[in-house]
Amino acid sequence: MHVVCKDHLELAIDMFVDEYEDAPDIVDLEEVKFTGWDPPPHCERCAEPGRFLVV
Protein backbone atom coordinates (compact mmCIF):
# COMPACT_ATOMS: atom_id res chain seq x y z
CA MET A 1 0.00 0.00 0.00
CA HIS A 2 1.34 3.41 -0.98
CA VAL A 3 -0.02 6.90 -0.29
CA VAL A 4 1.45 9.34 -2.78
CA CYS A 5 0.99 12.71 -4.44
CA LYS A 6 0.17 13.08 -8.14
CA ASP A 7 3.87 13.49 -9.02
CA HIS A 8 4.78 10.12 -7.48
CA LEU A 9 1.73 8.13 -8.61
CA GLU A 10 3.46 6.50 -11.59
CA LEU A 11 6.40 5.44 -9.41
CA ALA A 12 4.03 3.91 -6.83
CA ILE A 13 2.20 1.99 -9.57
CA ASP A 14 5.51 0.65 -10.92
CA MET A 15 6.62 -0.39 -7.42
CA PHE A 16 3.31 -2.17 -6.80
CA VAL A 17 3.49 -4.05 -10.12
CA ASP A 18 7.12 -5.04 -9.47
CA GLU A 19 6.21 -6.42 -6.04
CA TYR A 20 2.85 -8.09 -6.72
CA GLU A 21 2.98 -8.65 -10.51
CA ASP A 22 -0.58 -7.36 -10.76
CA ALA A 23 -2.24 -4.03 -11.47
CA PRO A 24 -3.15 -2.01 -8.37
CA ASP A 25 -6.37 -0.30 -7.45
CA ILE A 26 -5.96 3.47 -7.22
CA VAL A 27 -8.16 5.45 -4.85
CA ASP A 28 -8.40 9.25 -4.96
CA LEU A 29 -8.32 10.25 -1.29
CA GLU A 30 -10.02 13.56 -2.09
CA GLU A 31 -13.13 11.61 -3.17
CA VAL A 32 -13.13 8.64 -0.75
CA LYS A 33 -12.97 8.60 3.04
CA PHE A 34 -12.41 5.46 5.11
CA THR A 35 -13.84 4.93 8.57
CA GLY A 36 -11.26 3.79 11.07
CA TRP A 37 -8.28 4.83 8.92
CA ASP A 38 -6.74 8.24 8.41
CA PRO A 39 -4.25 8.58 5.55
CA PRO A 40 -0.75 9.82 6.32
CA PRO A 41 -0.48 13.61 6.23
CA HIS A 42 1.93 13.60 3.28
CA CYS A 43 3.23 11.59 0.33
CA GLU A 44 5.59 8.78 1.25
CA ARG A 45 8.17 10.23 -1.20
CA CYS A 46 7.96 13.97 -0.48
CA ALA A 47 6.31 16.62 1.69
CA GLU A 48 3.32 17.16 -0.62
CA PRO A 49 -0.11 16.01 0.62
CA GLY A 50 -0.85 12.36 -0.15
CA ARG A 51 -3.70 12.24 -2.64
CA PHE A 52 -3.72 8.70 -4.01
CA LEU A 53 -3.86 5.33 -2.29
CA VAL A 54 -2.30 2.57 -4.39
CA VAL A 55 -3.39 -0.90 -3.22
Three-state helix/strand/coil letters over the chain: CEEECHHHHHHHHHHHHHHHCCCCCEEECCCCCCCCCCCCCCCCCCCCCCCEEEC
**Residues 41, 46, 48, 49, CA torsion sign:** negative
Cβ atoms < 10 Å from Cβ of 16: 19
With contact defined as beta carbons under 8 Å apart, do 48 and 9 qualify?
no
> Tell me: the pLDDT tens digits for 1-10?
999 999 999 9
> Tell me: the pLDDT tens digits for 6-27?
999 999 999 999 999 999 999 9
pTM for the complete prediction?
A: 0.91
Q: Which residues pair with 28 in a beta bridge?
A: 52
